[in-house]
Structure 1
Amino acid sequence: MALRKAVWLWAGLGLCGWAGAQSFSLTPTAFNINPERTNTAQVRLQNQTLQPLQFRVEVMKWSMDGGQAAYVPTRDVVVNPPTFQLGPQGAQVIRVGVLKKAGADEMTYRVFVRQVSDTATAQVDQQDAQINLSRLINISLPVYVTPPNSAAKVSFRMNIGGQTPALEVTNSGNRHLTLRQLRLVSGDQIFPLGSNAVLGRSTLALALPLTLPAGAAVEVRYQDAEDKEQRAAVTR
């Protein structure tokens, strides 16, 4: 019996997935471009396994819609190579080039690197059965085209009007902010929310599996780009 599962490795916000994903290294984990200096960037993917793997690459424009990430095809950015085979213990450099002229606001895209073969397998023994799990590797890499004078400006609000409480993170600035190890804190309760990027002039909505007592003081804490803890109040 074969089970196939897609595993996303959200580069730049931490890698997650099955144990085999730890046999890959990716440096750096984002395409960061200062348009006043260059319109290109690159990352290096290293295969530390003994299996050859085939990948295809595409780039999408990245925005926020209704508090969630939205992706649409774009011709603003070209990526090279569009397909490649990563040999055993081999490496591949992936390059992007931005064709669109930058303005005052940051431009954001994502590069998707998707495995097109199913050679990566793991075997699980369950009682008398042996199940082969065939898992396709998928990597999502952010592309940030960031003017030097751009800045993020975020605020946090609890939205309890819907069926599911949500933390709304609004960025009224014109560049993204990555909130690493984001957590909601109320008294001695801490609710981890993972790592998230909120784009400029956008709102990110994060579902909360909890209902806080009325009037309870709430704040968020996260690690910034320099790994320093930041704290901010949450309005209701």
Structure 2
Amino acid sequence: MKRSVFWCAVFLAVLPLTTSAGSFQVSPVRVQLTPSSPTAAINVRNESPTDGVLLQLRAMDWKQEAGEDVYTASVDLIATPPIFTIPPGGTQTVRVGLRKTVQTGIQQTFRLYLTEVPPAPKESFQGLQVALNIGIPIFVAPKSLTGTPPVWRAALTSDGKLALSATNASNSHVQILDVQIYDENDSITVAALTEPRYILANQTTRWQLALKRNPVGMLRLAISTDGGNIEAKVNLTAAP
């Protein structure tokens, strides 16, 4: 049987203070940089009592196009040390910062990936090795925050699903954690969105959701975000 390595990507969308992946733990799981705090420290702990872990850092620019995440190697974000080994039970401090601290009118967004480099398998090993790849969101605050809550739209598709979209017209991200969708005047759920998702500044994200029952008239959305809970009322239209 061939030996192979499988890379498991972990995107830190929900925000506990720490997160564990395989044998190592990362804290914090989201970083905010400002002119007064242009650098930050991330603590990485090896939870294994017996094995060391070799990790490599990759700093990436994070954009969105047509609602999809796009990553390219960054020349603006610096992370050190670029590669390191943590002994069993040990901790490594990773430092991140900008090459130049320049505030812009729109929030700058990056991800720092911590990629596990798996050890060479033992001679007798046959099977699949799992290598973890954790992406930490890093945000650089704009000069000032502007904008309003996301604008929501909803339509019924020809195959009986709910097409839902949210446009973030502000100059910083919003993280959608959960959306419960109801008919306007009752509390029975029509559909639900439970997969957390970032919407970056001036971007639109779209979903297609299965309906639990046919909606009637206007929809009421109960939305949980990283900035708090909001409600929105949306006219339901037929998809073109």
The TM-score bracket by the shorter chain reads 0.7 to 0.9
Q: From 106, 114, 132, give the equivalent of 1:137.
A: 132
Q: What TM-score, normalized by structure 1, do the two folds share?
A: 0.78
**Could you tell me how far 1:210 is from its partner in structure 2?**
4.3
Corresponding residue number in structure 1 for 2:47: 48
Residues 118, 222 of structure 1: alpha-carbon distance in 2 compared, 3 angstrom cutoff:
farther
| 2:142–2:171 CA contact under 8 A, matched in 1 | no
Q: CA RMSD in A?
A: 3.0
| 1:183–1:194 CA contact under 8 A, matched in 2 | no
Task: Supply the distance in 1 between the matched residues of 2:116 and 2:173 (Cα, whole angstroms).
Answer: 28
The answer to whether structure 1 residue 7 and structure 2 residue 8 are counterparts is yes
Corresponding residue number in structure 1 for 2:60: 60
Corresponding residue number in structure 1 for 2:25: 25
Residues 34, 202 of structure 1: alpha-carbon distance in 2 compared, 3 angstrom cutoff:
same
Task: Supply the distance in 2 between the matched residues of 1:44 and 1:12 (Cα, whole angstroms).
Answer: 18
The letter for the 2-side match of 1:92 is Q
| 2:105–2:143 CA contact under 8 A, matched in 1 | no
Structure 2: tracts of 5 or more residues without a match: none
**Could you tell me how far 1:133 is from its partner in structure 2?**
4.8
| 2:180–2:223 CA contact under 8 A, matched in 1 | no
Structure 1: tracts of 5 or more residues without a match: 121-130
The answer to whether structure 1 residue 191 and structure 2 residue 189 are counterparts is no
| 1:152–1:177 CA contact under 8 A, matched in 2 | no
SS in 2 for 1:194: coil
Corresponding residue number in structure 1 for 2:141: 146
Task: Supply the distance in 2 between the matched residues of 1:162 and 1:145 (Cα, whole angstroms).
Answer: 41
Residues 222, 165 of structure 1: alpha-carbon distance in 2 compared, 3 angstrom cutoff:
closer
Cα shift readout 1:9-49 (whole Å, capped 9, x = no counterpart)? 2224358xxxx8265332111121112x1321121111211
Task: Supply the distance in 2 between the matched residues of 1:197 and 1:58 (Cα, whole angstroms).
Answer: 20
Larger radius of gyration: 2
Q: Provide the aligned length of Structure 1 versus Structure 2.
A: 219
| 2:6–2:130 CA contact under 8 A, matched in 1 | yes
Percent identical among aligned pairs is 21
Q: From 157, 174, 178, give the equivalent of 1:177.
A: 174
Cα shift readout 1:127-161 (whole Å, capped 9, x = no counterpart)? xxxx9552111100011001362145311122556
